Amino acid sequence: MLDRTKIEALRNARVPQSGHVIDGVARAASDGGTLEVISPLDGKVLTTMACGTKDDADRAIAAARRAFDDGRWSGMAPAQRKKILLAWADLIENEALELAVLGVRNNGTEIGMALKAEPLSAVGTIRYYAEALDKLYGEIAPTGPDVLGLVHREPVGVVGAIVPWNFPLMIGSWKFAPALAAGNTMVLKPAETASLTLVRLAELAIEAGMPPGVFNVVTGKGSVVGEAIALSMDVDVLVFTGSGPVGRRLLEYAARSNLKRVYLELGGKSPNIVFADAPDLAEAAKVSAGGIFRNSGQVCVAASRLLVERSIHDEFIEALAGVAKSMKVGDPLDPSTAAGAVNSLTQLEQNLGFVDEARALGRDIRIGGSRILEETGGYYMAPTIVTGVAPTDRLARDEVFGPVLAVIPFDTEEEAIQIANGTDYGLAAAVWTGDLSRAHRMVRAIKAGVVHVNTYGGSDITVPLGGVKQSGNGHDKSLHAFDKYLDLKTAWIKL
């Protein structure tokens, strides 16, 4: 159970100005000055953070380069590297509620989800890769009798990471945990609207004994700090979760600089397909509502397109609307809240713009469609279900990243597949059916990195997450994540 008294005390705690963490030292704002941190809970200034400059980014990259090249981390015995990472995880776990509340005040996620999905998720991810790091073996090639062929796995060097605002600790750890476990050093740039918890994590890394320069965090604008990291000749791999336009720009920056490898997770427009033979329609409605409305729809794999077999369309939408109406939207630091705040006024206005466009096309706004709780000063939106959406509508094709569900009816399995695959994205999907053969057919046919069957979400660190088409490339999570951060080197030895 969440400690409401402690949450209330943390809600009102003063948040000091946040700075960078570079070369093992917490640094205040430099020549770039500061940026105001606006809390989506009430629209008020929560604190300020350092607005990094290109020089700040370059200093962090140089520190990471030195730390990699001199072997203080990559050359450390794997058992010692593991010990430091596990100590770091312990420190994060000890401060989990404080980190969760700080994150909620910064980005608006409801506290029940935030605690599990943010600090505690990061703890589990760090421990997973720490335990795996000394189990990465090289190979002996099956060569002739006069030659010994060895395949070494080596860290790539300096990793640059740019992470989003919706789950900064969870998504950040998917990147820094395997990268650091493999022996790389890192420069991480958080989102402007959700940097505070990642800065604190970097401070805890120092406390855990991580050598200076190994894990650096530079806050500020993407157009400055992110660009400097992406254009750097000393960053060997760049990993990013965010929007498609920014992902394209990062690929261009890689081409203009050192051809660094770039791994991208660029969101989705995930289809949630409900057949009439689903084993439990009430459960499907409940889970589907959570799949789009939890965290106010601000989830990369959000089930934002609902495809419903026409014979059960009206019945299912009625059940889904009932679940959505019962979800408490509001103060994300109230443990009874099911959906918290939209991250920013800009994001809220974008969400409402999609609804206005659907309304202008004559689509039915079944529930929601408006800003709520405006008197709080915060950014809250009612769960919104839009029916009668055509597969060609922008609402059915573009990522909203808000609590807005597009509902599309279908008649046949083949039609459902065609609609499901009819976007540029391919991150996640779900199929609800009691037919085992149909389930397997759909898993094969749908173009997505993960396909859920009779559930939505919940996959843990043991399985990969990655997109196809314009949802990106490469994989976070699972042992496959190491592939992004390790080079293969062949030794060909004449005997």
Task: Kindly state the average pLDDT of the residues 355-383.
Answer: 98
- Asked whether 337 and 373 are in contact (CB, 8 A), the reply is no
HEC profile of the chain: CCCHHHHHHHHCCCCCCECEEECCEEECCCCCCEEEEECCCCCCEEEEEECCCHHHHHHHHHHHHHHHHCCCCCCCCHHHHHHHHHHHHHHHHHCHHHHHHHHHHHHCCCHHHHHHHCHHHHHHHHHHHHHHHHHCCCEECCCCCCEEEEEEEEECCEEEEECCCCCHHHHHHHHHHHHHHCCCEEEEECECCECHHHHHHHHHHHHCCCCCCCEEECCCCHHHHHHHHHHCCCCCEEEEECCHHHHHHHHHHHHHCCCCEEEEECCCCCEEEECCCCCCHHHHHHHHHHHHHHHHHCCCCCCCEEEEEHHHHHHHHHHHHHHHHHCCECCCCCCCCCECCCCCHHHHHHHHHHHHHHHHCCCEEEECCCEECHHHCCCEECCEEEECCCCCCHHHHCCCCCCEEEEEEECCHHHHHHHHCCCCCCCEEEEECCCHHHHHHHHHHCCCCEEEECCCCCCCCCCCECCCHHHECCCECCHHHHHHHEEEEEEEEEC
**CA 169/CA 357 separation, integer angstroms:** 34
Give the rounded percent of residues in the chain with a pLDDT score beyond 90. 97
Task: Output the pLDDT for position 57.
Answer: 97
Q: Name the residue type at position 23.
A: D
Residue 374, both tokens: 């405006």
Give residue-wise pLDDT tens across range 405-458: 999 999 999 999 999 999 999 999 999 999 999 999 999 999 999 999 999 998
Residue type, 339: A
Find the Cα–Cα–Cα–Cα dihedral 231, 234, 239, 243, rounded to 10°.
-10
- Domains of the chain in sequence order: 4-266+472-494 (3.40.605.10), 271-460 (3.40.309.10)
Confidence of residue 29 (pLDDT cuts 50, 70, 90): low
Average pLDDT of span 195-215 = 98
Q: What's the confidence (pLDDT) of residue 31?
A: 76
Give the model's pLDDT for residue 30: 73
Q: What are 88-111's pLDDT values in tens digits?
A: 999 999 999 999 999 999 999 999
What span, in angstroms and rounded, lies between the C-alpha atoms of 105 and 31? 27
- pTM here is 0.97
pLDDT (0 to 100) of residue 459: 92
Active-site position among 265, 309, 399, 413: 265
Per-residue pLDDT tens over the stretch 210-242: 999 999 999 999 999 999 999 999 999 999 999
How far is the C-alpha of 51 from the C-alpha of 48, rounded, in Å? 9
Average pLDDT over residues 78-83: 98
Active site residue 375: no
Average pLDDT of the chain to the nearest whole number = 97
Residue 3: count other Cβ atoms within 10 Å of its Cβ. 11
Residue 454 is predicted with a pLDDT of: 98
The pLDDT of residue 64: 98
Kindly indicate the confidence band of residue 164, based on its pLDDT and cuts at 50, 70 and 90: very high
In sequence order, the β-bridge partners of residue 365 are 386
Better-scored residue on pLDDT, 152 or 28: 152
Whether the per-residue pLDDT at 393 is higher than 90: the answer is yes
pLDDT of residue 27 exceeding 90, the answer is no
Helix axes 78-94, 119-132, angle to 10 degrees: 170
